[in-house]
A = this chain, B = another copy of it.
């Protein structure tokens, strides 16, 4: 199990994954060695799965975000497996979840702009066999977006 000090480390590394052990130690009022060992332990035990750079979507040409609700035609094991496999390969699909409710799957899609979105839908998504229905919610603005969980 992890204690409050570990949780503080996780909080700080969520905000800035490149913070040095020295900086962490200063904020936690510890010496460098125990911090170093705690971070290694958190990585080893899988609490920390990795470290990512957060990029500016607009600047790198992914200014458009769309949430797409997919409904399957038939819920056979084979059809589900096929759709999942195809969706998984699409680079525009950042996230895909099997959800409860009206629809079966929820996709977060990121593309450059509206023409790119149309191409994605026409050339890729609708070519996948087994999808009965697509309902899209285009993101007009981001009210909140964080990757930092409340540890």
Closest to A60 in B: B151
Contact A51 B51 (CB under 8 A): yes
Contact B147 A60 (CB under 8 A): no
Contact A52 B148 (CB under 8 A): yes
Contact B52 A143 (CB under 8 A): no
> Which residues of A in the span 94-151 have a Cβ within 8 Å of any Cβ on B?
94-103, 105-106, 110, 135-151
- Report the interface size for chain A: residues with CB under 8 A from the other chain: 61
Provide the residues of chain B in CB contact with A103, threshold 8 Å. 137
A-B contacts, 25 listed (Cβ < 8 Å): A10-B55, A16-B51, A16-B52, A17-B51, A45-B59, A48-B56, A49-B54, A50-B54, A51-B52, A52-B147, A67-B67, A67-B99, A87-B143, A93-B144, A96-B142, A97-B139, A97-B140, A98-B139, A98-B140, A99-B138, A100-B136, A100-B137, A101-B135, A101-B136, A147-B147
